[in-house]
Amino acid sequence: MSANDTYQSPLASRYASREMLELFSARKRGTTWRWLWVWLAEAQKELGLAIPEGAIEQMKLRVVVTDEDLQVVAKEEKIRRHDVMAHIHAFGQAAPAAAGIIHWAATSAYVTDNTDLILLRDGLNLLLPKLATIIYKLSEFAIKYKDMPTLGLTHYQPAQPITVGRRAAQWVQDLMMDLEDIERVKDDLRFRGAVGTTGTQASFMEIFSGDGEKVDQMNKIIIEKAGFEKCYSISTQTYTRKVDLRVINALAAFGATVLRITSDIRHLAAQKEMEEPFERSQIGSSAMAYKRNPMRCERIASLGRYLANINSPVSDTYASQWFERTLDDSSIRRITIPEAFLSADAILLTLNNVCSGLVVYPAVIHSHVMAELPFMATENILMKLVSKGENRQRAHEEIRVLSHQASDVVRGGKPNDLIERIKKTPFFSSIVDEIDEMMDPKNFIGRCPEQVINYCQDPEGEVQTKLKPYKKYIEASNAVELSV
């Protein structure tokens, strides 16, 4: 049967990167299981157990799972109804000298759970540099536009102006929180190790004749080979599914962040102030040829919505585990964990593209600012009048009346003429020569440029300090992009 005749996840066929797809592939999982069996045998041999001559060497030669191995596994699993036992059988065929000692004293979770922890760690290591690169690019964008006034919007209504760069710095700050959260859950990951059926290590105590010190040494060897620093102090048959929840919560929060950011960009695109990259041959609509739909941001928003909510079944799975474990976690974890990582990966790939080519339209932004600025300038005009000795209450009333008149004009579809009305009113004669200068939008942006510089550009500031460990990846990513 052709792949075109069966369902394929769009995350695999359309969106996620090759390296993330390979990480959660059947070959990677099976090969990692085999390495865990190699490490277990090596530790057991080092500590004096009778491992047959040549067994470990044979295991290492066949440690990479082949297509033929997977065919054997599929056939055996139909018979045995147990995926781990099917793999043990296939590995034993591939390395017959080791067939009798593969998985010695271990339970299935030794390979399944320890592999999951390796995949969680490696998956986070794939995501983090990509997220750091996006933060870098958005920071550069924020710095570039730190001085460009734009309408601040509260309640989606015009409010005090900010700058294009300051708005982007807010996006950067939210992504920085995601970077910190994801780094934290990665750094907190531990290994399950070899702890037996219910976590008591009874089976390993048996093969080491009650020598708990050797059991601890065996675990230490395995943990180091797997690249972890320590294991969880308490495990049942599995590591606690609270670990999955902590990791997926961090990814889900990232999903919410990108949904929030791309909503802003999509609204700005509708206002023709900013848009994502749009290729020359790109088609916005099959019917409306003039359209420039923000399809990349829409894709990110769609995947972000999915990712933001994927922690719900993970939370339910953790909460539904009974005592030392139940198997109702298995099927759903096969879906939720890979899809959370594939979704996050797909989002990062597309968001990188968006942040690499955001287009700003200064003239449109300026016209929108100037359409609203007369109303916003009235407070400054009021203060200037008072400084000239005018009565504040009378000045307020004069401005109020003229503002309502100008509002009626705007609602009639005509340009805002408040400033012209003020200039023509005798009451304002004392400041009429200063009004045009007061209408410079940069008078209303407060400390926006300074805030952007301090947050995004300062070498010792939050963003630049956080990005230092990812510098080589960011430079490599930019070099590849420039060469395309």
> What is the dihedral angle through the alpha carbons of 73, 74, 76, 77, rounded to the nearest 10 degrees?
110
CB–CB of 360/164 below 8 Å?
yes
Residue 322 backbone dihedrals phi, psi, to 5 degrees: -100, 130
CA pair distance 311, 110, nearest whole angstrom: 25
- Hey, what are 313's tokens? 């079944």
CA pair distance 150, 41, nearest whole angstrom: 65
- Hey, what are 262's tokens? 């791309």
Contacts of 351 (CB under 8 A, 6+ apart): 134, 258, 261, 262, 300
Contacts of 255 (CB under 8 A, 6+ apart): 303, 304, 305, 306, 307, 308, 309, 310, 343, 344, 347
Angle at 130 between CA 127 and CA 136, to 5 degrees: 140
CB–CB of 110/103 below 8 Å?
yes
Return the number of other C-beta atoms located less than 10 Å from residue 286's C-beta: 7
- Which amino acid, one-letter code, is at 438? M
- Which residues sit opposite 191 in a β-bridge? 231
- Hey, what are 420's tokens? 């012209």
CB–CB of 448/170 below 8 Å?
no
Catalytically annotated residues: 155, 285
What does DSSP assign to residue 231? B
- Which amino acid, one-letter code, is at 325? R
- Hey, what are 91's tokens? 């590995």
- Hey, what are 190's tokens? 């531990």
What does each C-alpha distance from 66 to 34, 36, 239, 419 come to in angstroms? 12, 17, 29, 77
CB–CB of 307/15 below 8 Å?
no
Using DSSP bridges, classify how beta strands 157-163 and 274-275 pair: parallel, antiparallel or unpaired.
Answer: unpaired
Helix or strand (DSSP H, E) at 164: helix 164-188
What does each C-alpha distance from 190 to 22, 37, 333, 367 come to in angstroms? 23, 19, 18, 55
CA pair distance 360, 356, nearest whole angstrom: 12
